[in-house]
Amino acid sequence: MSSPSTPKLLNLGLFFIKRSDVFIDLTLRLQADPDARYDYSKLYYSTGFLSKFNEEQTICFKLSLANAHEQIRLLIPEEARKHKWIRLRLDPFVHASGSCQVEAAKLVAEDANEALSRHAYLLALKEWTRAKVVESETEKRAITPHPPESLSLELTAACNLQCSHCSSHGDIDEHRMNNRRLAFDGELLESLGKEVFPFLTLINLVGRGEPSMVPLALWNRFFELCDENKVLVTCVTNGSFVKQRFDAKKISMLDTLTFSIDGMTHDVFTHNRRGADLDDFLNNLNYFQEIRHGLNVLRKPRLGLSWTLKRNNIHQFPDFVRFAIDAKADLLYVRHLLLFRPQDADESLINEPELTNRYLSTGYNLLKGTDIKLDVPPLSLDKAEAALA
Ligand SMILES: C[S@@+](CC[C@H](N)C(=O)[O-])C[C@H]1O[C@@H](n2cnc3c(N)ncnc32)[C@H](O)[C@@H]1O
């Protein structure tokens, strides 16, 4: 069965469920269309001959390899196992498009393939967590009676840079104090790995410091635990250590790597990212680009670019957008400067709506028609609007 370059639903047929059957084994070959952003595939199941497929009866899963046979094992849902028959329908490219070949689809019992079975149980746990999160969000619960599906971790508060606007490193005393703080505790990481990681889909490496500056043993162990538990990673970085700390394996485990840039010329970049060098930054970014584009994977790790809007870089915002388009960035994260020190007030654009809007609107116009995901501020209110607001 195949669907050449069309994101259509594929009927896999009707399967008799034996008492010993526990899993659905699928062997698929998927190739996403160029520029299509594959995220996941979805299997619909239905237990009656005549009942319709619906969004309540689905199993979501991610395949890894592009244009290669890949076997995936999924747990037959508990409710379906009460029935004698199950009908299956596959949506290989949810929100994407491409071609799909179904090489095998069958129900199987527990067997010697422990790795495949463990993966099936992990996926089922993550699906369960997702359903619980939706339930908690719908009910607007303040306290959730289930583990989270994503987690933000600060592996270190230390940083090699002293960005002028940074609340944690912009001042020499703060910088020294944060660089003396202990890195994330190894034992705590182990217990999180055991107790929480299996439920997670994503871990976000954030915080005051440069995540990739954490001691190497902890860094490697963190990625090992993510790999064992099939957790994707997002990370915001100043780019200094990408070559040293991210090999192809680690890059393949990234959902998104976001580079903070804050300046398009040597002088503005160096002023805002004190201690960094623009050529070195670009070198590291190019390394990431080469590896991510060279991976034979369906879900390419995404490139994010972050920009803090300041008086000294607002005129370079359109160039930043052109750069992002050329680099085929997937996400732009733009923020106004947050003021932590009185002496930084002159860098704020809060009282400069005309100046800000001139460059922001040029940049936003350039982005029209692109599919770059935007997490950016709206245009500023002018002074008269602000007075009425
Ligand atoms: C604190 S850094 C930590 C991650 C990493 N070391 C980096 O440089 O991206 C995270 C992000 O916060 C931004 N940031 C720092 N201070 C800020 C401020 N005062 N206002 C707005 N954004 C700020 C940085 O530019 C960076 O993009």
How does 311-346 read in b/e, with b if 16+ C-beta sit within 10 Å? ebbbebbbbbbebbeebebbbbbbeebeeeeeebee
In a shared domain, residues 105 and 189: no
- Copy the structure tokens of residue 379: 């245009």
Instruction: Please check whether residue 301 is in contact with residue 315, taking contact to mean a CB–CB distance below 8 angstroms.
Output: no
Answer whether 79's CB lies under 8 Å from 135's CB. no
pLDDT of residue 20: 95
Does a structural domain hold residue 140? Answer: no
CA torsion, ordered 176, 279, 233, 161, to nearest 10 deg = 10
- Cα of 166 vs centre of ligand 1, distance in Å, is 6
CA of 168 to the centre of ligand 1 (A): 9
Query: How far is 118 from 111, CA to CA, in rounded Å?
Result: 11
Q: What is the pLDDT of residue 187?
A: 98
Q: Is 129 in the same domain as 169?
A: no
Specify whether the CB–CB gap between 38 and 91 falls below 8 A: no
pLDDT of residue 5: 53
Q: Identify the three-state secondary structure at position 72.
A: strand
Pocket test for ligand 1, best of 306, 314, 350 (most atoms within 8 A of CB): 306
Q: What residue numbers bound the domain in which 108 lies?
A: 2-135
CA distance linking residue 255 with residue 250, whole number of Å: 10
227 and 337, same domain (yes or no) = yes
Ligand 1 atom 16, closest CA: 166
Looking at 105, 135, 165, the residue that finishes a domain is 135
Q: Is 160 exposed, middle or buried (0-12, 13-18, 19+ CB in 10 A)?
A: middle
Residues 125 and 156 grouped into a single domain = no
Please measure the distance between the N-terminal and C-terminal CA atoms of the chain and give it in whole angstroms: 59
H helices, E strands: number in the chain: 12, 15
pLDDT of residue 8: 80
Question: Do residues 43 and 90 make contact, with C-beta atoms less than 8 angstroms apart?
Answer: yes
Q: What is the CATH number of the domain that holds 41?
A: 2.60.120
Rounded distance from Cα 183 to ligand 1 centre (Å) = 19
CA-atom Rg of the chain in angstroms: 24
Residue 145 placed within a domain: no
Q: CA-to-CA distance for 199 and 84, rounded, in angstroms?
A: 30
CATH no. for residue 309? 3.20.20.70
pLDDT at 68: 95
Pocket of ligand 1 (CB under 6 A): 159, 163, 165-167, 208, 210, 236-238, 260, 262, 306, 308, 335, 337-338, 340
Tell whether 142 is covered by a domain: no
Count of domains for the chain: 2
Same domain, 231 and 154: yes
Q: Are residues 301 and 362 in the same domain?
A: yes
Nearest atom in ligand 1 to the alpha carbon of residue 306 is 27
By percentage, how much of the chain surpasses pLDDT 70?
Answer: 97
Q: Is residue 6 part of a domain?
A: yes
For residue 126, the one-letter residue type is: K
Q: Are residues 247 and 324 in the same domain?
A: yes
Amino acid identity, residue 388? L
For ligand 1, atom 15, the nearest C-alpha belongs to 166
Q: Assess contact for 155 and 211: CB atoms under 8 A.
A: yes
In a domain, 143, yes or no: no
Q: What is the pLDDT of residue 3?
A: 47
Low-confidence ranges of the chain (pLDDT < 70): 1-7, 384
Q: What is the pLDDT of residues 370-388, one digit of tens each?
A: 999 999 999 987 776 777 7
Last residue of a domain, one of 78, 108, 135: 135
- Confidence at residue 34, expressed as pLDDT on a 0 to 100 scale: 85
Type of residue numbered 92: P
